[in-house]
Structure 1
Amino acid sequence: MTESGHGVDEPARGRRRLRRPGLSIQSKLLIMLLGVSLVASVVVGAIGFINGRQSLHAASVDQLITIRSMRAAELTDAVHTMRLDASLHSRNLSAQTLSTQLNAAFDDLQQREITEEQQEQLETYYADTFIPELEARSDDEFGSEAFIPQSNAGRYLQLQYTVKNQDFDADYDALLTDNDSGDGSTYAAAADRYGDYFTRLIQQAGYEDALLLNLDGDVVFSAYKGVDLGTNVNTGPYRDTSFAETYREVIATNSVDSVGMTDFERWIPSMDVPAIWVVSPVGNDSRITGAIAFQVPLSRINDVMTGGEGWKGQGLGDTGEVYLVGRDDLMRSTSRILVEHPDTYADRLVSVGIAKDTAERIVDVGGTVLLQPVNTKAVAEAQAGRSGTIEGRDYIGGESVTAYAPLDIEGLDWVIIARIDTSEAFAPVADFTRTVLLSLLGILLAVSVLSLVLAQVFTRPIHRLVSAVHRVAEGDLDVQVPHGSRDEFGDLGSAFNDMASSLRIKQDLIDEQQKENEKLLHTLMPESVATRYKQGDEAITEAHENVSVVFAELVGFDELARDLSGEEEIGLLNSLMRGFDEAAEKAGVEKVRTLRGGYLASSGLVVPRVDNIRRSVEFARGLVGVIERFNAQNGAQLALRAGVDTGTVTSGLVARTSLAYDLWGDAVNLAYRVRSVTGEPGIYVSQAVRDRTSEIITYVQAGTVESDGRTETVWKVA
């Protein structure tokens, strides 16, 4: 075909146009390529966008659920520890002795006469010192006479101890250790002698206060010596509190094993600060003499919920938090937003309809417990006993992703809420969306340009053939070019196709051989080591942590093989090793190498496993079963000595020319050594393995071995 500019006249050009009306082949091809490519790009991009967005969305929600579950477990453990502490301390001999002696001393003090001057001193303390301080901190009004104990003993104790606390910001430790009033009474002597027990409990266990009550409800001792000392929780000003109700419930059980726990309630002796009480009867299995009560500070719960205010480092970002809500829809832990943004917190509460005085009170006291209402759908769902996630308005008026669940803690009707601002939770989704859109635009532009170039190339046979040759050079042996034309280009296309087919067949043969080589290589060593070996590394080692090692040794095989031919011996040994391999695969452990009389395996080396220790012990037990079946089938009397240890090991090629893959390290050495601690068949484990599996496997102590200059206790599977 002759183009314009090469001597073609106008009539010829006109005739060509008549013969070829409409779009040119190049134009049609361009439109077709553009249409298919653009539609495919849009469809693939849309599918990737939808799947990616859903995956990122689910990952953000799953992370919040995980954090909520972790906090719930930590809180449950903390509460269990508090109850256990109370139960243990109530049985302590010091507590029993102090209870008995102070009960008697308290009864003796009932005979003390309280003079009018002393009564006036007590009234003055409440009117001029305690009540003004209480009203300033609680923002309520109180009458002074209601707090004065009714009993002579109670009033006397407050005169000797409580009225000394004129400054409520005084040295707390001094109040705890001031147990001897100096009046020479039997009470002062007993308090001075045994009160140190309470002091150490407060200082070491972190309680706010500790009370000792007799069976009549009298508070006969207080570590802090506050206004609750000497009062009666059955008839006095605190008779309607949850603390008093819990005291009566545990005393009614008449059992020292009983433990009661209150929800948060405002405790007036602590200046109306919310507190939790754990109460347990004091005594022994034969009788009880009263009750011991520990005041759990608000900070104890907050530390668990906030992780020591380390929200960001624990996956909650800049806005996430976990908090508690009671049945009354009030918080039982402190809000992160209040901690980090106290200056704007009150305004934000007012903007969502919270009363201004409540909002200001929250900011003044620096806490949200029993003050901050949370009337969200998430709280309602959790209080109904359901767990889940929700997106919507939070207690401060923002949009949040929330994971909620009820808490299964005896005596506490709480729910746990984990939330994070929606914008932060789904920030990866927004970033992904922007990236996908920009990438799709780039792909569309690239496809358009490529389609134009290909349309021009494929309209010229020579360019088409050159392009095909280039593709073969790049490794694409499936390329074929049309050769329908009966000219030199057709012959060349046919010859090219024959060449490409021949190359493809040869490449397939090479690929098959390479696959066989890869398969053989992977039977000798892990994939990571095989990859480095193929890259030419001379010295290949890898360090692994938290790996369990099993070193198993056959006992009696030499005696069995003594009268066998070489073929029979190999046959029996192969039968055993196949059984060992099957046991390894079943237990999920990796075979390292096989010896004539032994077997070395590991768990957690190639595939990290959190239960690698359990798998290793189960594998060793499986080997015993393999040998028992072998003995039954062959009339043999083989046995097994196996050693199991866990720790850090090193693996690698110890001799490049022979491709010997091996495993060594402290865990391998100790596994080898513990197997022969007694010389008797059995499964022997190190102390570390026993500690991690003692709840599911029974062990007996088998002896000791020396390891790295220290004595290692060896245990045998029972």
Structure 2
Amino acid sequence: MADPDTLAPPRPRRWKRLRGGLSIQSKLLLMLLSVSLVSAVIVGAIGFTNGRQALQDSALDQLISIRELRAAEITETIDSVIRDASLQSRNLSAQTLSQTMNAAFDELQSDPLSEEQLETLETYYAEVFIPPLEESSETEYSDTAFIPDSNAGQRLQLGYTSRNLDLDEDYQELLAREDLGDGTAYSAAAAQYGDYLTHLVEEAGYEDALLLNLDGDVVYSAYKGPDLGTNVNTGPYRDTLFAQAYRDVTATNSVDAVEITDFEAWIPSLNHPTMWVVSPVGDDDGITGVMAFQLSLHRINNVMTGGEQWAEQGLGETGEVYLVGRDDLMRSNSRLLIEHPDTYAERAADGGTSPSIASRIAEIGGAVLLQPVTTRAISEAQAGRAGTMTGLDYLGGDSVIAYAPLHIEGLDWVINARIDTAEAFAPVVEFTRNVLLSLLGILLGVSLLSLVLAQAFTRPIHRLVGAVRQVAAGDLNVQVPGGARDEFGDLGNAFNDMASSLRVKQELIEEQQKENEKLLHTLMPESVANRYKKGDETISEAHENVSVVFAELLGFDDYARGLTAEQETSQLNTLMRGIDEAAAKAGVEKVRTLHGGYLASSGLVIPRVDNVRRSVEFARQAVEVLDRFNAQNGTSITLRAGIDTGTVTSGLVARTSLAYDLWGDAVNLAYRVRSVSGQPGIYVSQTVRDRTQEMVDYVEAGTVETQGQTETVWKVV
């Protein structure tokens, strides 16, 4: 068969036949036009980049401003509550109320309930209060779990709490229930002074207000719930944040003390999240009790949602600001939950929230103390840093986030403002479209101008000369514009072919050199590889103070009998990669790998003072690798390793096969101590044990004979 090359006309002649396009002058015009267009594109790109960055910065600045505004509002809200609680507990009315109610409560202690009355109280809890509590908390309670131990507490709950037969009863009726008409001093005191606390609840918007004596008894409650009459030191609420706050302020014996608690599930409120502000009642001579105000969750949510006016306040269709506690749980409600409760559970579950928790949040319509937020922004804020970032939010969507710690004494909260990235950067998209349209207009104008100036530009050969000089300087990536159908096009195509050919050849040479280097470094240390490349026939090195680990896998062959050859190789590779990672982590160098064994050293390539400790640590980490492998695959593969330290020799054995090996007394002893008992474990020589006994626990495992002497072998516990 004839050679195809002999049938085709020479390339120059073929190009000449195909030529017949634009003239040199036309080419000059096109070249000038290209330069102008590129310049316009570059200018447009610079303007686009700067403008886009400015718009992004503006979006971030707006989000930061909203975050700071909300932070200031919630801080001022809580500070005002604390100030109000402190003032209310120090005035004369509060002091009179405390003294009077304390005395009336003490008087009731001498009046125990009859068996019939106690049964009535138990019936109230069993039939009215506990069923909805168990439903909300998913926890079972006994009928007597919340009945006070004191006679006075039982009497108050029978007279007030047990009459609330409908937990959805109008709160105004509960507030007005003061005088029971039983002729007791307590009823009279409640009728005379109780409106002080009820007015505070109505005017300040508290959920409830409690009055406690110095013994921990709740002597009065505005809403007369299940917390009335209980003792926060000994009763069912003794382990709550509220109880701890009570103990903290009473311990000060000062009316200036004020404590605020974080949200917690409050049983008397059917496990709804509750905050308390606690302040002692009294004067400079001492305190007579404690006043506690239950802060409304709605009040916190109203501040953080801006009255649910997100769009009007610059947060668009998807933005929100929320609080998160140290436990990574929300302290304010989610916008999506408020606006789209039907889709919240699905979105939250897709974002990584437990489906059961997501369903529970949607069911009760509240995310406080339920919705986890474990994003990087929250971690940064909890570390005390403020800033912005783009990343995943708690619903798994891509958001622009502004985060910061919230500086409120007594509350370890952080504040997070977020908005979907697509919405936040929508102006950037519009700006991009405008820039492109403007750029097209500029390019059209430049094209018209180039037609006028084309004749002023000559000497296109300069481009080719410059390209030749770049090749001469070693830059093989240079290309000249191709595709022309004239003499300069022919020359340019020939030049490009030459440059491409040179570049490909150079890249092949460099790739081959890299592969050779990589292969050598996987077979031997760099120092040995360098000597091998220089042509040394005999390569060996003696090393002092080197630790040797000789490890053997036990049970892998039994496990591999049920596997195909491909599966066996894959599983063995998985194990060896894990052991290699453990070696790298411990600072141990792998020497070679066998089918069921592993030879490694520490201090061989890189001298290390603590090479013995690293070798023992590597062996222990290798055992952990096997434990993880066994747990994942249901296997029982174990490790039997021997460790010794001393003088070794390393070198290249059999130059044609490139086998790098290690030998010497330390290698031999490591191999022998490994099999002292035949059982899995990490066995070390006496020298290794002496140098690591302060860090590792050992038990004696037996002895081996070495060089005419008996060597004690120790096993790592």
TM-score, with structure 2 as normaliser: 0.59
Closer, same or farther: CA 33–124 of 1 in aligned 2, 3 Å? same
Show the counterpart of 1:370: 369
Show the counterpart of 2:334: 335
Closer, same or farther: CA 22–331 of 1 in aligned 2, 3 Å? closer
Alignment of 1:604-683 (within 5 A): none
The answer to whether the 8 Å contact 2:100/2:189 transfers is yes
In the alignment, the residues of structure 2 paired with residue 258 and residue 389 of structure 1 have an alpha-carbon distance, to the nearest angstrom, of: 37
Show the counterpart of 2:274: 275
Show the counterpart of 1:50: 49
Show the counterpart of 1:186: 185
Show the counterpart of 2:614: none
Letter of the 1:55 partner, please give it: A
Show the counterpart of 2:254: 255
Shift of 1:351: 1.9
In the alignment, the residues of structure 1 paired with residue 403 and residue 143 of structure 2 have an alpha-carbon distance, to the nearest angstrom, of: 44
1:236 aligns with 2:235: yes
The answer to whether the 8 Å contact 2:275/2:295 transfers is yes
The answer to whether the 8 Å contact 2:352/2:396 transfers is no
Specify every segment of 5 or more residues in structure 2 that has no aligned partner in the other structure, as ranges: 1-19, 458-717
Shift of 1:284: 1.0
Show the counterpart of 1:512: none
Show the counterpart of 1:225: 224
Letter of the 2:343 partner, please give it: T
The answer to whether the 8 Å contact 2:392/2:399 transfers is yes
Show the counterpart of 2:417: 418
Shift of 1:314: 0.8
Alignment of 1:455-470 (within 5 A): none
Show the counterpart of 2:443: 444
The answer to whether the 8 Å contact 2:351/2:397 transfers is no
The answer to whether the 8 Å contact 2:108/2:151 transfers is yes
Instruction: Name the SS for the 2:194 alignment partner.
Output: helix
The answer to whether the 8 Å contact 2:329/2:371 transfers is yes
Instruction: Name the SS for the 2:322 alignment partner.
Output: strand
In the alignment, the residues of structure 2 paired with residue 398 and residue 455 of structure 1 have an alpha-carbon distance, to the nearest angstrom, of: 53
Closer, same or farther: CA 187–31 of 1 in aligned 2, 3 Å? same
In the alignment, the residues of structure 2 paired with residue 68 and residue 82 of structure 1 have an alpha-carbon distance, to the nearest angstrom, of: 21
Letter of the 1:171 partner, please give it: D
Alignment of 1:84-95 (within 5 A): 84-95=83-94
In the alignment, the residues of structure 2 paired with residue 24 and residue 120 of structure 1 have an alpha-carbon distance, to the nearest angstrom, of: 112
Shift of 1:256: 0.4
Identity %, equivalent residues: 68
1:67 aligns with 2:66: yes
Letter of the 1:121 partner, please give it: T
Show the counterpart of 1:16: none
In the alignment, the residues of structure 1 paired with residue 260 and residue 21 of structure 2 have an alpha-carbon distance, to the nearest angstrom, of: 91
Show the counterpart of 2:297: 298
Closer, same or farther: CA 193–23 of 1 in aligned 2, 3 Å? same
Shift of 1:113: 2.4
Instruction: Name the SS for the 1:313 alignment partner.
Output: helix
Instruction: Name the SS for the 1:48 alignment partner.
Output: helix
In the alignment, the residues of structure 2 paired with residue 352 and residue 116 of structure 1 have an alpha-carbon distance, to the nearest angstrom, of: 54
Alignment of 1:370-519 (within 5 A): 370-452=369-451
Shift of 1:332: 0.3
Alignment of 1:347-358 (within 5 A): 347-358=346-357
Show the counterpart of 2:212: 213
Letter of the 1:155 partner, please give it: Q
Shift of 1:177: 1.2
Shift of 1:24: 7.9
In the alignment, the residues of structure 2 paired with residue 106 and residue 77 of structure 1 have an alpha-carbon distance, to the nearest angstrom, of: 36
In the alignment, the residues of structure 1 paired with residue 347 and residue 86 of structure 2 have an alpha-carbon distance, to the nearest angstrom, of: 44
Show the counterpart of 1:318: 317
Show the counterpart of 2:558: none
Show the counterpart of 1:264: 263
Letter of the 1:438 partner, please give it: L
In the alignment, the residues of structure 1 paired with residue 21 and residue 234 of structure 2 have an alpha-carbon distance, to the nearest angstrom, of: 107
Instruction: Name the SS for the 1:408 alignment partner.
Output: strand
In the alignment, the residues of structure 1 paired with residue 333 and residue 361 of structure 2 have an alpha-carbon distance, to the nearest angstrom, of: 10
The answer to whether the 8 Å contact 2:112/2:152 transfers is no
Show the counterpart of 1:104: 103
The answer to whether the 8 Å contact 2:134/2:141 transfers is yes
In the alignment, the residues of structure 2 paired with residue 357 and residue 28 of structure 1 have an alpha-carbon distance, to the nearest angstrom, of: 71
Letter of the 1:295 partner, please give it: Q
Shift of 1:83: 0.4
In the alignment, the residues of structure 2 paired with residue 391 and residue 124 of structure 1 have an alpha-carbon distance, to the nearest angstrom, of: 56
Letter of the 2:122 partner, please give it: E
Letter of the 1:434 partner, please give it: R
RMSD over aligned Cα, in angstroms?
2.1
Show the counterpart of 1:172: 171
Letter of the 2:279 partner, please give it: S
Instruction: Name the SS for the 1:147 alignment partner.
Output: coil
Show the counterpart of 1:246: 245
Show the counterpart of 2:199: 200
Specify every segment of 5 or more residues in structure 1 that has no aligned partner in the other structure, as ranges: 1-20, 459-718
Q: For this pair of structures, how many residues does the alignment match?
A: 439
Instruction: Name the SS for the 2:157 alignment partner.
Output: helix
Letter of the 2:363 partner, please give it: D
Shift of 1:230: 0.3
In the alignment, the residues of structure 2 paired with residue 366 and residue 112 of structure 1 have an alpha-carbon distance, to the nearest angstrom, of: 43
Shift of 1:210: 0.1
Instruction: Name the SS for the 2:48 alignment partner.
Output: helix
Closer, same or farther: CA 237–23 of 1 in aligned 2, 3 Å? closer
In the alignment, the residues of structure 1 paired with residue 401 and residue 21 of structure 2 have an alpha-carbon distance, to the nearest angstrom, of: 63
TM-score, with structure 1 as normaliser: 0.59
In the alignment, the residues of structure 1 paired with residue 158 and residue 345 of structure 2 have an alpha-carbon distance, to the nearest angstrom, of: 42
Shift of 1:439: 1.8
Instruction: Name the SS for the 1:403 alignment partner.
Output: strand
Letter of the 2:442 partner, please give it: I
Shift of 1:219: 0.1
1:137 aligns with 2:133: no
Q: Kindly provide the CA deviation profile for residues 467-488 of structure 1, in whole angstroms up to 9, marking residues without a partner as x.
A: xxxxxxxxxxxxxxxxxxxxxx
Shift of 1:453: 5.4
Q: Kindly provide the CA deviation profile for residues 228-274 of structure 1, in whole angstroms up to 9, marking residues without a partner as x.
A: 00000000000000000000000000000110000000110011100
Closer, same or farther: CA 355–28 of 1 in aligned 2, 3 Å? closer
Show the counterpart of 2:287: 288
Q: Kindly provide the CA deviation profile for residues 503-540 of structure 1, in whole angstroms up to 9, marking residues without a partner as x.
A: xxxxxxxxxxxxxxxxxxxxxxxxxxxxxxxxxxxxxx
Show the counterpart of 1:698: none
Shift of 1:390: 1.3
Letter of the 1:284 partner, please give it: D
Shift of 1:33: 4.9
In the alignment, the residues of structure 1 paired with residue 385 and residue 192 of structure 2 have an alpha-carbon distance, to the nearest angstrom, of: 52
Show the counterpart of 1:81: 80
In the alignment, the residues of structure 1 paired with residue 381 and residue 100 of structure 2 have an alpha-carbon distance, to the nearest angstrom, of: 47
The answer to whether the 8 Å contact 2:216/2:232 transfers is yes
Shift of 1:454: 6.2
In the alignment, the residues of structure 2 paired with residue 354 and residue 154 of structure 1 have an alpha-carbon distance, to the nearest angstrom, of: 42
Shift of 1:355: 2.1
Instruction: Name the SS for the 2:292 alignment partner.
Output: strand
